[in-house]
Structure 1
Amino acid sequence: MNVIDLFAGAGGLSEGFRQAGFNIIAHVEMDQNASLTLKTREAFYYLKERNKLDLYKKYLKNELTRDELYSNIPEAILDKVINAEISDLTINDIYNRIDSLLGNEKVNLVIGGPPCQAYSLVGRARDPKKMKNDPRNYLYKEYIRFLKKYSPDYFLFENVLGLLSAGKGEIFEKIKLEMNRAGYNIDYKVLNSKDFGVLQSRRRIILIGWKKNLNFNFPSFEVEESGSTIRDLFYDLPEIQAGEIKKPGNTYKNEVKSYVITNGIRSLDWDILSQHQARPQRELDLEIYKYCVEVWNSERRKVKYNQLPYHLITHKNTKTFLDRFNIIPYDGISHTIVSHISKDGHYYIHPDIKQNRSISIREAARIQSFPDSYYFETSRTAAFKQIGNAVPPMMAKKIALKLKSILF
């Protein structure tokens, strides 16, 4: 089935569908860094299919520039990534580029989720106008334009839970109404990535639409408990300190746990550990991290900001946003990774007190179930933002496989 990925981000959703055997025709994404990540992933797949991954590994080890890597990839492959904001000014050009990639083929499925900041509960809490005037409230209309243009049999629309209450529920009702007017029956469920074996609690709206002449019902998914923990997920990653970058190469340690292999996060023949780097942090923050981990280890209690020792409290606000510091627990699963991790790592403290830092890019990517072969362009900040905004590929793959079993 031919798929168009809209508001693609770093490609978590399309990665899952691709692993399930769907054919990704095009990704449309406005962020330049995320678009480069998508191109680099296309390069990975192209080289993998031709047994030329040595070139890709050279790039990860900084032995090739990005331009040199891309020079080995046909333009038609890289052109699948359309770096553009979807608007009245760009829509026809985007259509033309997709049409040239499609040829005489049909689009069977559209996937994607418009940027969610305008719907998020945290975003609304921080905006005095509650995001009422945010233009991102209406990006779903751009999504529907593609449904009308390409008339896919099915579509999958993903978004944050806050969409249900945005505008007192009116925005979601408008979305459903306009999708229905575009010719689709729709249904949705709130799904949690932990129920798909991902080591993270991440609740999201998954809405599926299908042409009114088709016989389809929203599938049910069996809850999948992996029994694995963050300790298993991080087991083969070497220890690093705040600000440290592990030079890409064969730098894994220990034997790898079965969870990581069986779920495709690392294949047995993959020997390049990239982006295992932690952000540098102030001594004050590191002292707070150490205190929080000590309390967690001894009492299994998360420390509120106003419960810190007096000399560690430097902010005047001790009434709201008190859960500023949070630990990723070794013996459980992670709380939700969000894009704020690009601003600081306080909410994602590594559980090993000896390392005393926030989690690395690679650790965040693993929590989101991205394969170790996935490379996030172009900077540490950009990588964290892309990871925080992504759909976990493992969750996407299992949804895609369920759809595949119904449709074929």
Structure 2
Amino acid sequence: MGYIDLFAGAGGLSEGFKREGFEPIAHIEKDHYACQTIKTRLAYHYLNENDRLDEYKEYLLGNTSQKDFYDLIPDQILDTVINEEISEESLENLFESVDEQLDGEELDLIVGGPPCQAYSLASAHIEDKNEDLIYLYELYGEFLRRYEPRMFVFENVPGLYTADDGKYFEGLKECFEDAGYQLDDEKLDSSNFNVPQKRKRVIIVGWHEELDLGYPDFEEVRVDTTINKLFKDLPSLKPGESINVGKYSKDASDYVNKHIRNGIDLFTHHIARPHNDRDLNIYEMAIEAWTENEVRLKNSDIPEEMRTQKNTSSFLDRFKVVDGDGLSHTMIAHIAKDGHYYIHPDINQLRSLSVREAARIQSFPDDYYFEGPRTSVFTQIGNAVPPLLAQSIAKGINKELNGIN
């Protein structure tokens, strides 16, 4: 079954559908580095399916250039990645590109979720919103009208329900219904779908009004790990240290062996950002408060001479330790800015999370290679749909489309 991934990001949602046997017709994404990440992942799947993973490992090890690596992959696979912003001005060009990929075939599915900043809880109180972001669902609706897929999946943040007192959510539903679809929605927590993170997302599913389909029954799998178990096989790092490519030297938990290591004996992107002494002192206070008393450090608790912001009445939890004995709080793209909201629980490492640790929290396997500089990679990870959540969604959609009870 073929699908289009709109606002594809680094391909987390697509990864779940690819694992369940769906075939991508097109990935549309405006960010150059994210598009390269998708291409590299498509290359992985192609080489894996053809028993050529050694060639993928050579690329990860830096023994093959990106150009030579992509030359190993058929053009029709990499050409599914369309590096262009979805806008009113670009629609016709995008339709032409997708039409060429479809080559007259009917489309089964459209998936994707526009950038969520416009609907986040914080943005819900900002009067000067980016109208272009807010109404991106209307462009999603244009793809529904053009291609009339049997079903669609639209993912976004819970703030979608409440932004401007629900105005935009009602507009979204009306838009999709006018395009010829019945739809329903649920708020899912990723931790109920094997992801080591408390991350709630709205999943809207629509089906063509002429078809006898409905909202899938997504099978829940409660995650059985903790953050400390998730990280225990990765080497310790100090601030600013990095292991771009490393081989495992420690035993891993059952969860990591099953879902993260993924059969390849190396990992990438174990990169920790540097921190100044003031931040490290604050990190130490935050880790001690959490590990000893399960208390979150507030900005008002930080000595005045150490504070990085003067506000002591709101947004107090700027520094937050990831719960080593439990699950992570929601991973967002802000991790690309400073890391203060994602402090490693091990006081002996005294740093924010590495790129690979953040990817593991999002349930990306260690062989998932992200293209681009560190800041871009953190952004790609923070914005992504966790692949294990995506895979559960794909299973439900697959059963619905194939009439499997």
Q: Normalized against structure 1, the TM-score is what?
A: 0.95
Partner of 1:210: helix, strand, or coil?
A: strand
Q: Which residue of 1 aligns with 2:93?
A: 93
AA of the residue aligned to 1:258: D
What is the correspondence of 1:2-401 to structure 2 with a 5 Å cutoff?
2-125=2-125, 127=126, 129-131=127-129, 133-250=130-247, 252-262=248-258, 264-267=259-262, 269-401=263-395
Cα separation, 2, equivalents of 1:216 and 1:313: 55
CA distance in 2, matches of 1:42, 1:342: 25
Question: 1:70, CA displacement in angstroms?
Answer: 1.3
> How big is the alpha-carbon RMSD for the aligned residues of Structure 1 and Structure 2?
1.4
Contact 1:124 1:130 in 2 (8 A): no
Residue 117 (structure 1) shift: 0.9
User: What SS does structure 2 have at the residue aligned with 1:296?
Assistant: helix
Change (3 A) 1:386 1:247: closer
Q: Distance in 1 between matches of 2:283 and 2:160?
A: 33
Residue 130 of structure 1 deviates from its aligned partner by: 4.7
Q: Separation in 2 of the partners of 1:116 and 1:45?
A: 28
**Separation in 2 of the partners of 1:124 and 1:177?**
20
Deviation at 1:101, TM superposition (A): 1.5
Aligned residues: 402
Distance of aligned partners of 1:247 and 1:223 in 2 relative to their CA distance in 1, 3 Å threshold: closer
C-alpha distance in 1, partners of 2:357/2:207? 37
Give the C-alpha shift of residue 315 in structure 1.
2.2
**Identity score, percent:** 48
Please say if residues 189 and 207 of structure 1, whose CA atoms lie closer than 8 Å, have aligned partners that are also in contact: yes
Please give the alpha-carbon distance, in whole angstroms, between the structure 2 residues aligned to 1:407 and 1:116.
28
**SS in structure 1 opposite 2:184?**
strand
Deviating beyond 3 angstroms after TM superposition, the runs of 4 or more aligned structure 1 residues are 220-223
Give the drift of 1:74: 2.2
Q: State the distance in 1 between where 2:118 and 2:141 align.
A: 18
Q: Distance in 2 between matches of 1:75 and 1:216?
A: 35
Measured after TM superposition, the shift of residue 197 of structure 1 is 1.5
Report how far residue 21 of structure 1 moved.
1.2
Q: CA deviation at 1:222?
A: 4.7
1:377 Cα deviation from its structure 2 partner: 1.3
The CA deviation at 1:66 is 1.5
Q: Deviations 1:159-214 (Å, cap 9, x if unpaired)? A: 11111112221111111011111110010011110111111011111000001122
Shifted more, 148-157 versus 252-261: the winner is: 252-261
What is the distance in 2 between the residues matched to 1:259 and 1:375? 20
The 1-side partners of 2:21 and 2:178 are apart by 30
The whole-number CA distance in structure 1 between the counterparts of 2:171 and 2:292 is: 50
In 2, Cα distance between equivalents of 1:77 and 1:222: 30
- SS of the counterpart of 1:4? strand
> What amino acid is the match of 1:245?
S
- The secondary structure found in structure 2 opposite 1:236 is coil
Q: Name the SS for the 1:370 alignment partner.
A: coil
Identify if the C-alpha distance between structure 1 residues 407 and 247 changes in structure 2 by more than 3 Å, giving closer, same or farther: closer
Change beyond 3 A, Cα 1:184–1:247:
closer
Moved more, 306-315 or 195-204: 306-315
Which residue of structure 2 lines up, in the alignment, with residue 403 of structure 1? Answer: 397
CA distance in 1, matches of 2:270, 2:202: 31
CA distance in 1, matches of 2:291, 2:203: 36
Between the aligned partners of 1:276 and 1:37, the Cα distance in structure 2 is: 17
Q: Give 1:102's aligned amino acid.
A: L
Q: Is the 8 A contact 2:2 2:107 kept in 1?
A: yes
Q: CA deviation at 1:9?
A: 0.5
CA–CA distance in structure 2, aligned partners of residues 290 and 195 of structure 1: 31
Gaps of 5+ in 2: none
Q: Give the distance between the partners of 1:5 and 1:16, measured in 2 at CA.
A: 12
In the alignment, the residues of structure 2 paired with residue 296 and residue 142 of structure 1 have an alpha-carbon distance, to the nearest angstrom, of 44
Q: What letter matches 2:302 in structure 1?
A: L
1:238 CA displacement: 0.8
Q: Distance in 2 between matches of 1:13 and 1:292?
A: 33
SS of match in other structure, 2:242:
coil
Structure 1 residues without counterparts, runs of 5 or longer: none
The 1:315/1:88 distance shift into structure 2, 3 A limit, reads: closer
